[in-house]
Amino acid sequence: MLDDPSTWPLSRGGSNGTPVLFLHGWLGHRGDWNDVATALPGDRAWMAVDLPGHGENTDGDALPELPDVLTGLERLRVAQGIPRWHVAGYSMGGRLALAFAMVFPEHIASLTMIAASPGVDGAEARQTRRNQDIAWAARFREQPARDVVAAWYQQPVFASLASQPDLLATIIQQRSVACSPLTADALVLWGQGVLPSQWGRLEQLTVPVCHISGALDPSYVAVGERMMEQNGSIERRVIQGVGHTVHLERPVELGHSIGQFLSDVERREARNR
């Protein structure tokens, strides 16, 4: 299953317009997008996929390398008979979506990065991040799933979830059940310490881009600002009152924001025809 994109589990909905492909973050699954996707205006067509090692896509022994993941997503597009699609990704999914847009821009109508970064600059910083991810992955393989998932969500980047204990408890429960050795592998294989930094390539992007972050997630608000400074065509949106897990904390508002961006992109494209 891991090496055959035609078998990657999909959810889909909507019937209008150019569809949106949603890519979840690390520890996530395609169901994370249900409330976001159904909030897209105009019954927008959408699909969400379980990335290898996540959700129901764990039938295999080893994860594909980044180039194979990107090729897999392109094969998925072809198999679904979609000429072009919008791509939106959260955190790890946003990094993969950006890499995807760099490799297959001709088939991507737009890119939305949600609480995601183009990567880590500098060899020393990248090695530090890689070491951190390796240490976390070891904990996920060796310790009780619920304990390590709870510890993961105690990191400062998730601080806003403390004000929503019911949501936090649900996230910990769902992620604890879904953990597998392959999920731990994904943290290292597709982590910011391993994936190539795209900061130096942002000016080469040929597709419309929007970066969305939560106002209570200052590090990723800064990422959006820096991206916009490096490429003036990149749009930036900040959703108030939420942190890093924007898609879970405020899914309806996020869906509306994405939908507005897509409509703006399509109106501009129609004017330029």
Sheet holding 85-90, edge to edge: 10-13, 44-49, 16-23, 85-90, 108-114, 209-214, 235-239
DSSP 39-95: TSGGGEEEEEE--TTBTTB--SSSPPPHHHHHHHHHHHHHHTT-S-EEEEEETHHHH
- Residue 1: pLDDT band with limits 50, 70, 90: low
Taking only the tens place, the pLDDT of each residue in 177-203 is 888 889 999 999 999 999 889 999 999
Q: What is the pLDDT of residues 242-272, one digit of tens each?
A: 999 999 999 999 999 999 999 999 999 888 8
pTM of the model: 0.96
Higher pLDDT, 1 or 64: 64
pLDDT digits (tens, 9 = 90+) for 127-143: 999 999 999 999 999 99
